[in-house]
Amino acid sequence: MKKQILFITAILFFSAIAAYSQGENKPILDIHGFVKTDIIYDTRQTSSLREGHFHILPLDQSFDAEGNDINANPSFNILSIQTRLNGKITGPEISGIKSSGFIEGEFFGTSDGDVNGFRLRHAYVDLNWTNTQLRVGQFWHPLFITDCFPDVVNFNTGAPFQPFSRNPQIRLTHKIGSISLLAAAISQRDFQSNGPVWDANKQIYTSFASSVYLRNAVIPEMLFQARYNDDNFIFGASGSYKILRPQLTTNKNNSNGKPYANENTIGSYTAEAFMKYQSNPIKIKLECIYGQNLANLTMLGGYGAKSYNDSTGVMEYSNSNILSAWADFNYQVSENVSLNIFGGYSKNLGFEDNLVKVGSNFAVFSRAPEADNIIRISPYIRWNIGMVQIAAELEYTSVAYSTGAPDYAEKGKISETHNISNIRTLLAVYMNF
């Protein structure tokens, strides 16, 4: 019932604005979107979101009582949860400043328990001067380059090799000829950093994703980007820095039963370079990222405890470092058909410092710290028939997992690996409107 109410509310909202925009000097609303169904087959169990729809990587071996790998079993699904509805609002011009807004939602839900639920993707207001734009609201993280990202069929859009995150933000863009400069202050909502939660029964810290770690640092993530554009070429670079405060209090109490405070924070940086070349019938896109604590971008990485005070429970933290790169090649065979291939590589470079145990385990708050590297190759084809598009993709992903636990006492070093792979066969049917 809650999902139905949200959807009906969205429809009524768009309808009300559309009706309001019919008069003179009223805002103009354009409604668009698409209906999409994905047919998915995986040769192996995967780490994924929304009932396997958003594929990240294949799961490592897990053995049953007879020594058989449980995760070697295949999986199949048909889902239409990526179906999308959006509205662009063209507002009035105010003292030479053009105003507009954009709202978009989909049926992806906010968790696996909310599949088919209508959720907010984008919601922002733009104020445009001649060479300057101010955008306030929720949109793609600026490390996701909206005109230079993988055009793959899988909804993961190249993750975990490519940043994938939408964030509330304030971003200012200024153009100087072919050069664009962007500065942004960013918070977190659906895509969050990991942090510590104490399990009193097991006497260990577990990892939990939340925006509270960034909120408690009281400083938004800061980003700067510079790029060059012409008719055929885009080149740019970005740098960002975020600070998390993972704990307000520790897992220890004083003699009066009061918890000890932990004011320690952890700062993490990311550097990105990207390039796009387009000259019909060829399009080439490339990107490379070196960064720390990237789990909130649906990539590998995070952080862990490098020190722990047994008396007070106060921890200090150390970042993990990740190097990731991808390339996407598109060839337009005809007006309606394109042949494409995507390739990605991500390398776990370990932690900045040696980690320590808290209780019986190392305190690690990271995505797949046991993965040494990941490789993906995805050939795909798109065929447009008027408003309808049919797309097919064969996605091969291989992970070199640590044989045994990583040596966290030596910066998470992985000495010996074994390869685990998954082949996803994906057929998608769209209708755009």
What's residue 397's pLDDT?
A: 99
pLDDT tops 90 at residue 6: no
Per-residue pLDDT, 4? 54
Residue 26, pLDDT score: 77
Residue that the structure tokens 């805002």 belong to:
27
CA distance 231 to 190: 35
Least confident of 17-26, 111-120, 142-151, 370-379: 17-26
Rounded to whole angstroms, the Cα distance separating 210 from 246 reads: 10
Is the pLDDT at 11 greater than 80? The verdict is no
CA-atom Rg of the chain in angstroms = 23
A 10 A CB-CB count for 351 gives 27
Asked if the model's pLDDT at residue 374 lies above 80, the reply is yes
Residue 187 has pLDDT above 60, yes or no: yes
Structure token pair of residue 93: 């011009």
Q: What percent of the chain is modeled with pLDDT above 70?
A: 94
DSSP of 166-204, one letter per residue? EEEEEEEEEEETTEEEEEEEE--SSS-EEEEEEETTTTE
| Rounded Cα distance, 121 and 140, in Å | 9
Mean pLDDT of 63-86: 97
Q: How far apart are CA 114 and CA 112, in angstroms?
A: 5
**Quick check: 186 pLDDT over 70?**
yes
In angstroms, the CA 22 to CA 317 distance is 57
Give the pLDDT confidence of 309-342 residue by residue, as tens digits: 999 999 999 999 999 999 999 999 999 999 999 9
Whether 253 and 260 have beta carbons less than 8 Å apart is answered as yes
Share of the chain above pLDDT 90, in %: 92
The C-alpha angle with vertex 302 and arms to 305 and 274, in degrees rounded to 5, equals 145
Band (112; pLDDT cuts 50, 70, 90): confident
User: Which pLDDT value is given to residue 113?
Assistant: 87
pLDDT value of position 184? 99
Terminal Cα distance for the chain, rounded: 27
Span 371-398, average pLDDT: 99
Give the alpha-carbon dihedral of 10, 125, 54, 82, to 10 degrees.
30
pLDDT over 60 (residue 229): yes
Give the model confidence (pLDDT) of 236-290 as tens digits: 999 999 999 999 999 999 999 999 999 999 999 999 999 999 999 999 999 999 9
Position 1 pLDDT exceeds 90: no
- Contact assessment for residue 304 and residue 363, using Cβ atoms and an 8 Å cutoff: yes
The pLDDT score that the predictor gives to residue 61 is 98
Question: Which range, of 22-31, 56-65, 407-416, averages the lowest pLDDT?
Answer: 22-31
Ranges 17-26, 211-220, 295-304: which has the least confidence? 17-26
| pLDDT given at position 21 | 53
Assign 418 a pLDDT band (cuts: 50, 70, 90). Answer: very high
pLDDT at 3: 53
Q: Rounded to whole angstroms, how far apart are CA atoms 133 and 130?
A: 8
Q: Taking the C-alpha atoms of 249, 253, 258 and 262 in order, what is their torsion angle to the nearest 10 degrees? A: -20
Q: How far is CA 292 from the centre of its chain?
A: 15
Per-residue pLDDT band at 43 (split at 50, 70, 90): very high
Rounded distance between C-alpha atoms, residue 241 and residue 142, angstroms: 12
pLDDT band (50, 70, 90) for residue 195: very high
3-class secondary structure, 272: strand
**Phi, psi torsion values for 213, nearest 5 degrees:** -70, -40
Cβ-Cβ contacts under 8 Å for 142 (sequence gap 6 or more): 169, 171, 182, 184, 186, 223, 225, 238, 240
Mean pLDDT of the chain: 95
Q: How does residue 210 score in pLDDT terms, banded at 50, 70 and 90?
A: very high
With left for phi above 0 and alpha for psi between -120 and 50, is residue 220 left, alpha or beta?
beta
Q: Which domains does the chain carry?
A: 2-432 (2.40.160.10)
pLDDT at 415: 95
